[in-house]
Amino acid sequence: MKIVKKKYNSPFPGRAWLEKKSLALKYSRKKRGKRVRLRRKYARSLMHRTLQSTWNVGLFGILAFSGLWLLRSGATFWKTSPFIQLQGVEFKKDVPPELKSFLSLKPGQNIFLINTARLQEAALKTFPELKSVSIRRNWDRTLSVQGEYRTPVVYYYPKPSAARYGIGEDGRVFALKNAANATNDLPTLTGNRSDIDTQLLVEALEALKKSLPDFYSSIKQLKTDRINTIKVVLDGDVVIHWGELSLDSVLSKAKKVQNILDRFLPAKPMASMELVEGDRIVLDAHWIPRDQSERREHLVKTRNHSEP
């Protein structure tokens, strides 16, 4: 019988290779020792694979146990370690009294689990009187909370006897909790705020303040009604039926009103004028030309001077 020899690179041959070798040596008594050595080699390889598998399973178990222990120890450190606990909170500048309880920042909290961005956003939505809120972590494991109040552009009275509110640059209405920002040199808005766009109102007033500061400083009050028009009351109780407030036309209308005020004088309080379509201004009967007023004053002075 012809024996076919093949080369195998593996030092531990598998069962298929052993069967082929056994068939080749089955009928050869001269090679009985070789068959015995072959079986012993297979047994050693089987034992080696068994030991290797057992070692792998044991090593995996040790690594898994170590990983779980490290995770548990890390979680305990993350929750109880004083090195990452909040030591205190410092409030600076403009801080409403309710903001401290709203933030709920207490010593002992994990300083890295405090979402400062989310707290800042929530504080600005809850407290519209704040223009900005900054929450910053410090190296000494403390937090610094710094706020800044809004500066009103116009005051707002929902009702004649109601408290005074402020309207900021973005058109938001807020309570005046800072006495330093509550001055008396700003225009006042009365009436139903829903009848107008407060953002558009603020932009129009800012445009007047920048381009026509004298006219802006003479504005005393703004009144709204239900047909989306505005009445502007100037110093001297001059009433202007302004109509719709448009940012594109506010400067041109103000210049026309200023031109009328340069030519006419109110003869009585609450003298009014109305801005109508076609760039026209209608005056009521309580106005007199300035030159006529000057002539009257001159006649009165002359008469008083001529009397004995």
Q: What is the pTM of this model?
A: 0.62
> What contacts 34, CB < 8 A, 6 or more positions away?
25
Tens of pLDDT along 182-192? 566 789 888 87
Tens of pLDDT along 157-179? 877 667 788 888 888 888 887 65
Fold of 83-149: Ubiquitin-like (UB roll) (3.10.20)
Distance CA 37, CA 27 (A): 16
Predicted pLDDT at 60: 86
Q: What sign for the dihedral angle of Cα 202, 203, 206, 211?
A: negative
Distance CA 154, CA 165 (A): 9
Tens of pLDDT along 198-215? 888 888 888 998 999 999
Distance CA 299, CA 297 (A): 5
Residue 181 has pLDDT above 80, yes or no: no
Distance CA 65, CA 296 (A): 106
User: Does domain 154-306 bear CATH number 1.10.10?
Assistant: no
Closest alpha carbon to 156 in 168, 142, 143: 168
Distance CA 240, CA 255 (A): 13
Closest alpha carbon to 170 in 135, 132, 133: 132
Q: What are phi and psi of 278, to 5 degrees?
A: 80, 20
Distance CA 191, CA 258 (A): 25
Predicted pLDDT at 147: 92
Burial pattern 141-166, b for ≥16 Cβ within 10 A else e, equals ebbebebebbebbbbbbeeeeeeebb
Helices vs strands, H then E, count in the chain: 8, 14
Neighbours of 111 (CB within 10 A): 19
User: Where in the chain are the domains?
Assistant: 15-79, 83-149, 154-306
Predicted pLDDT at 102: 92
Structure tokens at 170: 């973005």
Tens of pLDDT along 53-71? 888 888 888 888 888 877 7
CATH topology of 83-149 equal to that of 154-306? no
pLDDT band at 298 (very low <50, low <70, confident <90, very high): very low
> What contacts 37, CB < 8 A, 6 or more positions away?
none
Distance CA 223, CA 191 (A): 6
